[in-house]
Structure 1
Amino acid sequence: MSIPELDARSLISAKDKAHVRQVHDHLRNHGALKVKLGFLDPDSDYLRQIVLGLHEHHGHGLPSTHSSTRGWFWDVRPQPETIQHRAISETMGDFPWHTDSCYETAPAKFFALHVLQHDRCGGGTLSLLNVERLLRSISPWAKQALSEPEFRIAVPPEFSKGDQRSFIGRLLSTDEQGQHGRLRFRDDLLTPLTPRANAAYCELMHTFAQQKKTQVQNLTSELLPRGSIILMDNGRWLHSRNHVRDAGRHLRRVRWDARPFQKPLSLLAQV
């Protein structure tokens, strides 16, 4: 399943209802979209307007505020090693497979990355794996077990709010129409709490290991250069990043439409 692409020739595109509709339709149908900007946009005005348009015309929730100083956007670039509790995305090391904000009780449904400066040394490749295809290879009983709140999910120190260090939740959900399986995942943060959960998680990881051999899409700097934006349905694609080689690499991220991770509608009638 290749990622569709869309051109935005000017900032006016972000306020064009037909263009916003195309973005919405690609996210709904494919769960992902690449946009090529035909203009300089150092402040990510296009991305801001697109998210507002999706909210106004297509019912998307507004973005999560990252902080009182950064607002909706988070600048993702290597930070000095002396900074305590750096997020993995702010290091130059590998960022293993995950979904964004999986440590939130209400993870963001969508996220986007604006490439302000790609890695000019060949690193920082974004890799993607489709969750729907992954789930097709998992048994029904395992999907049922992954849908139960039988997993401890740790909260990284850099994202801890108050005294909360972890919570109990499920790994599998669906959207409001029950159409798309949505996964919450980051292996270093997840602990199965029951034999059933452990067996299901082992099956998930086994299938995942097999699909990584053939089903991964790698978006190198050549495929996602400066001036590119990628928008993702967070629960429908797993993603990872290999080590960054260019200390000047600079992405800008926004997450929006945070929603509780509910039990899949397709399984409600079975329990």
Structure 2
Amino acid sequence: MAMNFNYPKMRLPSVRIAHYMYSGKLPNIHVNTSAGRCWNVARVSTSSRTTSVAAAIPPIIPHLTAPDIKHATQPCHVRNVHEHLQKHGILKIGLGFPDPDSHYLKGLVLGLHQHHGHQLPISHSASRGWFWDVRPNNTIFQTANHQARSETMQEFPWHTDCSYEDLPPRYFALHVLQEDRFGGGTLSAMNTQRLGLSLSPSTRASLMRREYSITIPPEFIKDPRKRSIVGSLMSADEQGQPSMLRFRRDLVTALTERASRALHELDAAVQDAKAQSQSTVHLTAKDFPAGTIILMDNRRWLHARHSIKDPKRHLRRVRWDAVPFDARPMEQ
């Protein structure tokens, strides 16, 4: 029997309490082209104003700089990006040049495809290509007659991108063209491995079963005959640990009582403020100004957005490396 669950209002720790990034001048990446190696990969330190709760967050978000557009095709720079995504699943890049058409990001993703085996970007819908503009708009939508959640000024609770796809993208990137000038739109990221460890073994096992219906939002329907999929919400990594997640609560319906109980525990864990303080980072507009790109492993990090205060806020998104979420054979 299908079970529905009303999703509670998103609760995020205070940005001041769990503020993780700091605004400062990004150091340059020094490249030794003759040796073919990269030097002085920088990472962000915690702010001196960070509390002990924030200091307990173990992952350090690394950042790189791209002083010019040519970095998008430099093997050393592209390799740095690939290795950071493999190790941390999250990376911040500061551009040292204006790029209103996101040429750097397009070139970088093509480089990751050509040199590191990443799949090419996926189209966002039947009418959109690789890039999607994330900005408020009440009258003109990127998909005819359907407004995406990202096109509103509302908060966007914890989710992974394209959870409704049979082949969800492994990675996504957001290029800031205009930050929120009035302090809204904070981007938050939650580590799914730590989230998974907070769940009971029985819940993790249930989340790995294909007992969930996931609705495809109207604006992202590519085949009119297909409006939902059935699958699992959690999958194991290469070591067999159940650490990868796909999740957008308003789209998920449990198909069994067992699945409903597991989904209820997952809901509680996602909303638990104490657990969030140990696994969550926040990027305010100061941390994420125009000319910044954030890249994220879509299965190792949930993300959320506070409500937007600036109607001119504008990000550009690309998603790539779409592969099966769960390669295990179907249960008998």
CA contact 2:125–2:220 (8 Å) conserved in 1: no
Q: 2:251 maps to what in 1?
A: 189
Map 1:26-105 to 2 at 5 A: 26-66=84-124, 70-81=128-139, 84-105=145-166
Aligned-residue identity in percent: 53
Q: 1:4 maps to what in 2?
A: 62
Write the distance in 2 (CA, Å) between the matches of 1:264 and 1:216: 29
Write the distance in 2 (CA, Å) between the matches of 1:131 and 1:22: 23
CA contact 1:124–1:221 (8 Å) conserved in 2: yes
CA contact 2:125–2:219 (8 Å) conserved in 1: no
Write the distance in 2 (CA, Å) between the matches of 1:59 and 1:262: 19
Compared CA separation, residues 69 and 165, structure 1 to 2 (3 A): closer
Verify: 1:253 aligned to 2:317, yes or no. Answer: yes
RMSD between aligned alpha carbons?
A: 2.2
Q: 1:203 maps to what in 2?
A: 265
Counterpart amino acid of 1:234? Answer: N
Write the distance in 2 (CA, Å) between the matches of 1:88 and 1:241: 11
Compared CA separation, residues 236 and 104, structure 1 to 2 (3 A): same
Write the distance in 2 (CA, Å) between the matches of 1:68 and 1:130: 31
Structure with bigger gyration radius: 2
Write the distance in 1 (CA, Å) between the matches of 2:257 and 2:128: 43
Deviation at 1:212, TM superposition (A): 2.9
CA contact 2:171–2:297 (8 Å) conserved in 1: yes
Q: 1:135 maps to what in 2?
A: 196
Once the two structures are overlaid, the 10-residue window that deviates more, 190-199 or 247-256, is 190-199
Deviation at 1:2, TM superposition (A): 2.6
Write the distance in 1 (CA, Å) between the matches of 2:158 and 2:139: 22
Query: What TM-score, normalized to structure 1?
Result: 0.92
Write the distance in 2 (CA, Å) between the matches of 1:51 and 1:212: 31
CA contact 2:195–2:279 (8 Å) conserved in 1: no
Query: What TM-score, normalized to structure 2?
Result: 0.76
Counterpart amino acid of 1:162? Answer: P
Deviation at 1:176, TM superposition (A): 5.5
Counterpart amino acid of 2:315? Answer: L
Counterpart amino acid of 2:155? Answer: D
Deviation at 1:178, TM superposition (A): 4.7
Deviation at 1:69, TM superposition (A): 7.0
Q: 1:212 maps to what in 2?
A: 276
Write the distance in 2 (CA, Å) between the matches of 1:213 and 1:8: 31
Q: Which has the higher contact order (CA 8 A, sep 6+)?
A: 1
Classify the secondary structure of the residue corresponding to 1:218: strand
Query: 4+ residue stretches of structure 1 with deviation over 4 A?
Result: 67-70, 175-180
Q: 1:262 maps to what in 2?
A: 326
Compared CA separation, residues 24 and 197, structure 1 to 2 (3 A): same
Offset from partner CA, 1:30-50 (integer Å, 9 cap, x none): 101000011111111111111
Map 1:90-239 to 2 at 5 A: 90-160=151-221, 161-175=223-237, 178=240, 181-210=243-272, 211-239=275-303
Q: Can you give the 5+ residue segments of structure 2 that lack an aligned partner in the other structure?
A: 1-58
Compared CA separation, residues 18 and 180, structure 1 to 2 (3 A): farther
Write the distance in 2 (CA, Å) between the matches of 1:68 and 1:209: 34
